[in-house]
Amino acid sequence: MESIAEKWRENDIQGERRYGQATGEILLNGKPIDTGQMIRISGFVPQTDLAIESLTVLEHMEFMVCRMKNVACMKMDRRLRANVRRQRIMVLLGELGLGKCGNSKLSSLSGGERKRVTLAVQLLTEPSILFCDEPTTGLDSYGAMTVARTLREVAASGRIVICSVHQPASGLLEIFHEVLLLSSGRVAFQGSSLDATEFFDSLELRCPPTFNSAEFYVSQLSIVRGREAESYQKVNWICDQYQKSKYGQRVSKLIEYSCASTSDNNELPSIFSDVSLTPRNYKKARGFTQLRWLTWRTYVDYKRNSASIFLRFITYMFIGLLIASPYVDVTGKPMNQGSIQNMQGLLYLVVVETVFTFNYAVFYTFPSELPLLLRDIASGLYGPTPYYISKVVVLLPGAIVQPLLYSGFIFSITGLKGGFLGFVYFALPVVICAISASALGCFLSASFQSVDTASLFSVPLDFLGLMFCGIYLHLGHLAPGIAWLKYLSQFYYGLEAVSLTQWLFIDHINCSPDPEEPCISSGMGVLEKYGYLPNHYAMDLIGLMVIYSFSHLAGFLVIRYRSRQEPVY
């Protein structure tokens, strides 16, 4: 097991995980290796543990390895049988001391346990090389020692384990087989911790008896602010001395021998001949299997957070009650000129509240999960397509059932016209408004890194949509240059559709006794007043579905773009 005392995250070794420009080659025993091969034979334990924290340890592992018969797995080769994969999980958890944590949520685990769960996930594929980015960060001394001993046991099983560590606890460095000290892009030492002590002693740089040797090495190789020139001179002198020493000469000879011994061989080095399946023969999980398990994971996460979802639903229904209360039996009384404002105000509030509720409810969806998505895609676990579809699949039932109940609640309280068929025609545009609003919310959520930014950007969009809904501007008298903007408004489509379901039933509206007051005598006249067309109901539904489709397509393209362009860690 090898420790690197300065970060190598500038260019993550496993599969070039960090996007951007980089120079140089990635060699394995002196031979170039491509990204696909490197991902297949290696695992990576990140510094930050990324997971859906509402899952239990077993559920998290089963997501990686499937739990159902004849179902392909996410992390392991899909041709392995289900019982073999299940057994592999239990053995791994037992070996890593996690047997009693199987039914514990990830959010309830300690830092050391979380690290070991992350390690267990990477060991599912039995990688020949395991990269660990600061596996002891954030742990106390006991937890750090436990994780380090676990990694040493992994190395003892025949794997290569490479770790970067910062300020390791006292005695931690002695657990590693080899130590690699880096500073200012140069190698300051490579060898055992005992050899490191001897090397620094030979330079008259002796670690005090009560001082942590790792902290001593870091202090000698650090660039001190205000004394940069002196620090660089000292670091370069130590690196030069290392290259001249027997330790540096030994490493140079080993590299030369490795490159020479593989110069005539185009295959992977023989050290990796025990890999169970070659990169060419490895079978990833099918797209449908990825979608199934991503949908399952998203559903479990939603179920574990059902309290917040239920609270949003209760709030939505309570607002529906507030909206409906002033309009009780709005159509039961003889319609007059004042009833026009009442009816249209009710319909406006129904649509606007639905759009706002389902638009803002999904803003948190992608910003919180994007780091996890980037990591899993870089690991080849799944692609952006099944991930995005799984989110749509899980969001869709709530966006249908909730506005359907909401519509029925308001329809019955206010006594709107049409009977059962009228309710169906009334509820349909409300439901489609909800799913189109959630789609637009997904697009905004995918486009920005924070919920606050997405909310801020949505304000002008909502403002434009409300402006062209027909309440504030007469849609029949818009200037030609801006008349097309109404077709971008969910509020316009939704409000026109629900207005048609009610005003077309009203043949007569009483006029005021005062002949001087303007009079709208029928529902058709009301529709004409707001610029709504009586034959546009189907077009309104189609318009909402176009917004739904376009928003989800744009959201998916943004997720795919970000998954390819943004750094993984």
pLDDT in tens, 292-302: 888 888 888 88
Q: What contacts 29, CB < 8 A, 6 or more positions away?
A: 258, 259, 261, 262, 269, 271
Task: Give me the mean pLDDT over the 387-407 stretch.
Answer: 93
Neighbours of 387 (CB within 10 A): 26
Return d(Cα 145, Cα 151) in angstroms, integer: 10
pLDDT category, 394, cuts 50, 70, 90?
very high
Specify the pLDDT at position 507: 84
Share of the chain above pLDDT 90, in %: 24
Specify the pLDDT at position 382: 84
DSSP SS3 for 44: strand
pLDDT category, 569, cuts 50, 70, 90?
low
Specify the pLDDT at position 85: 67
Task: Give me the mean pLDDT over the 422-427 stretch.
Answer: 94
Return d(Cα 79, Cα 560) in angstroms, integer: 28
Which DSSP symbol is given to 169? P
Return d(Cα 94, Cα 87) in angstroms, integer: 11
3: pLDDT strictly greater than 70? no
274: pLDDT strictly greater than 50? no
Which DSSP symbol is given to 56? B
Burial 216-239 (b: 16+ CB within 10 A, else e): bbbebbeeeeeeeeebeebbeebb
Biggest CA pair distance of the chain: 110
Amino acid (1-letter code) at residue 197: T
Return d(Cα 399, Cα 401) in angstroms, integer: 6
Amino acid (1-letter code) at residue 476: G
**Distance, CA of 488 to chain centre:** 29
Return d(Cα 345, Cα 327) in angstroms, integer: 9
What separation in angstroms does the CA of 315 have from each of 312, 361, 403, 406, 426?
Answer: 5, 12, 12, 11, 21
pLDDT category, 287, cuts 50, 70, 90?
confident
> pTM higher than 0.85, yes or no?
no
**Distance, CA of 429 to chain centre:** 31
Q: What contacts 215, CB < 8 A, 6 or more positions away?
A: 167
Neighbours of 201 (CB within 10 A): 11
Q: What contacts 81, CB < 8 A, 6 or more positions away?
A: none
Q: Which of 121-125, 178-182, 221-225 has the highest mean pLDDT?
A: 178-182
Return d(Cα 556, Cα 309) in angstroms, integer: 24
Task: Give me the mean pLDDT over the 1-11 stretch.
Answer: 46
* Strands 178-183 and 160-164, sheet pairing: unpaired
Specify the pLDDT at position 498: 95
DSSP SS3 for 42: strand
Query: Nearest Cα to 87, choosing from 76, 116, 379, 155?
Result: 76
SS3 content of the chain, % helix, strand, coil (to 5): 60, 5, 35
Return d(Cα 16, Cα 2) in angstroms, integer: 20
Return d(Cα 560, Cα 285) in angstroms, integer: 19
pLDDT category, 275, cuts 50, 70, 90?
very low
Return d(Cα 8, Cα 543) in angstroms, integer: 51
Q: What contacts 396, CB < 8 A, 6 or more positions away?
A: 435
- Helix 451-467 vs helix 337-360: angle between axes, to the nearest 10 degrees? 160
Asked whether 122 and 39 are in contact (CB, 8 A), the reply is: no
Phi and psi angles of residue 133, each rounded to the nearest 5 degrees, phi first: -90, 105
Phi and psi angles of residue 186, each rounded to the nearest 5 degrees, phi first: -120, 155
**Distance, CA of 200 to chain centre:** 46
CA trace torsion 479, 481, 487, 489 (10° rounding): -80
pLDDT category, 365, cuts 50, 70, 90?
confident
Asked whether 433 and 418 are in contact (CB, 8 A), the reply is: no
Q: What are the tokens at 211?
A: 């001082």
Q: Which of 53-67, 204-218, 229-243 has the highest mean pLDDT?
A: 229-243
Q: What are the tokens at 160?
A: 């290569």
Specify the pLDDT at position 351: 95
Q: What are the tokens at 145?
A: 């020692």
Asked whether 527 and 505 are in contact (CB, 8 A), the reply is: no
Asked whether 523 and 507 are in contact (CB, 8 A), the reply is: yes
**HSE (CB half, 13 Å, CA atoms) of 114?**
21
Return d(Cα 550, Cα 440) in angstroms, integer: 9
Amino acid (1-letter code) at residue 13: I
Owner of token pair 């209360």:
325
Return d(Cα 453, Cα 199) in angstroms, integer: 53
Task: Give me the mean pLDDT over the 354-368 stretch.
Answer: 89
Q: What contacts 31, CB < 8 A, 6 or more positions away?
A: 262, 265, 266, 268, 269
Amino acid (1-letter code) at residue 406: Y
Return d(Cα 57, Cα 97) in angstroms, integer: 12
Query: Nearest Cα to 356, choosing from 217, 235, 494?
Result: 494
